[in-house]
Amino acid sequence: MQTINVGLVGITGYAGMELTRLLAGHLCMRLSMACSRAESGRRLGDYYPFLHGMPGADVVISVFDAHEAAQQCDLVFLAVPAGTAMGMADALLRAGVKVVDFSADFRLRDPGVYAQWYKREHTCPELLPQAVYGLPELYAHDIAKAKLIANPGCYPTSVILGLHAALQHDLILCEDIVVDSKSGATGAGRKPSVPTLFCEVADNFRAYGLPSHRHTPEIEQEISMLAGREVRISFNTHLLPTNRGILSTIYTKLRRPESTLDEVHAAYADTWKDSRWIRLLPKGSLPETRFVRGSMFCDIGLVVDKRTQRLIVLSTIDNLCRGASGQALANANLLCGLPVETGLETLAPLP
């Protein structure tokens, strides 16, 4: 069996931690490089005690160097902030290394839109045309041929997967789409801050980032491509007092007010019938975050409200696995010619 050497730049965040966990059980990929300026010189197993006795534990954390990465790795994951990844990706691609980028640096196709929402100029706009948006259900063929993958955001993953079938079957109007999304605290990252302290999050529920959450243009870009026209959404985010999970409730207007739940459910079933990680729930059932925890599944529930002529789509994922590291690993599998599910066939731990 082939061994694929991979590197991870940015080990200190939750996404890096989750990817390290997943790689430890991967059949083909071996973590050969782990980078963090702050933790340089330490054994990875000392920084991540859960790795004790597992593959990757003896890797010595280093400061990122593109030349060294090219000597050690076939592929590198960039789990670093927006604005940092683009320069690293450029250097790695020039050295012949494939890249899966967790940040937003290559998700938006228009550098002007990136500058508007992320308040910085894109320094490598020439790379944007070759970056593939890493949503396997929609772009697996393109991902497999690429060298640079823009790993989707967590909220956009839940929303795009939730709306795809409705747009594909022309079930809804593209106007007046309202997205109400709720995420666990890990979605805010691992950097200490007062709003994510235990006593601020526990036994509490609040909105944040309204009306300018940075995932808005990413969702609108992909939804517009699916719809074949420009679509604007109202995207509203909230913080849950949980560690993991995203639940997006998406309010849309039915194109045909007489549409029934049976018709809508059948359309969704047709769209996702061959997708291993999209689970369309039975009519009358609604998704819960605990049933997708730590997995690649996206559970979708449907409600047709005849009184308001709305289709309400509920879409839930694990923000760290499906919404970040697991999806990055699925993209890496495709880049390396492996089955997309390699190392990712897990169910949620309960309770």
Tens-digit pLDDT profile for residues 10-56: 999 999 999 999 999 999 999 999 999 999 999 999 999 999 999 88
pLDDT at 191: 85
Res. 317 pLDDT band, cuts 50 70 90: very high
Q: Which residues of 68-83 are buried (b: 16+ CB within 10 A; e: fewer)?
A: ebbebbbbbbbbbbbb
Cα–Cα dist 222/160, whole Å: 7
pLDDT at 189: 87
Cα–Cα dist 177/252, whole Å: 5
Q: Are 150 and 134 in contact (CB under 8 A)?
A: yes
Collapse the DSSP code of 149 into the 3-class scheme (helix H, G, I; strand E, B; otherwise coil) and give the result: strand
Q: What percent of the chain has pLDDT over 70?
A: 100
Distances (CA, A) of 141 to 252, 331, 340, 350: 30, 11, 11, 34
- Choosing from 154, 174, 298, 321, the catalytic residue is 154
pTM of the predicted protein model: 0.96
Q: Average the pLDDT over 186-203 and give the result.
A: 90
Collapse the DSSP code of 347 into the 3-class scheme (helix H, G, I; strand E, B; otherwise coil) and give the result: coil
The three-point CA angle 265-171-306 to 5° equals 70
Q: Is the pLDDT of residue 190 over 90?
A: no
Which domains can be identified in the chain, with CATH numbers? 4-152+322-335 (3.40.50.720), 155-321 (3.30.360.10)
Q: Is the pLDDT of residue 1 over 80?
A: no
Class of residue 182 by CB neighbours under 10 A (exposed 0-12, middle 13-18, buried 19+): buried
Structure confidence by residue, pLDDT tens digits, 217-254: 999 999 999 999 999 999 999 999 999 999 999 999 99
Catalytic residue list contains 154: yes
Compute the CA torsion angle 61, 63, 67, 73 (nearest 10 deg). 30
Q: Is the pLDDT of residue 175 over 80?
A: yes
Q: How many residues does the chain have?
A: 351
Structure confidence by residue, pLDDT tens digits, 224-233: 999 999 999 9
Average pLDDT, the chain: 96
Res. 155 pLDDT band, cuts 50 70 90: very high
Strands 131-133, 206-208: pairing is: unpaired
How many other CB atoms sit within 10 Å of the CB of residue 194? Answer: 7
Structure confidence by residue, pLDDT tens digits, 68-120: 999 999 999 999 999 999 999 999 999 999 999 999 999 999 999 999 999 99
Residue found under tokens 């995203």: 246
Residue found under tokens 């880049």: 335
Q: Is the pLDDT of residue 307 over 80?
A: yes
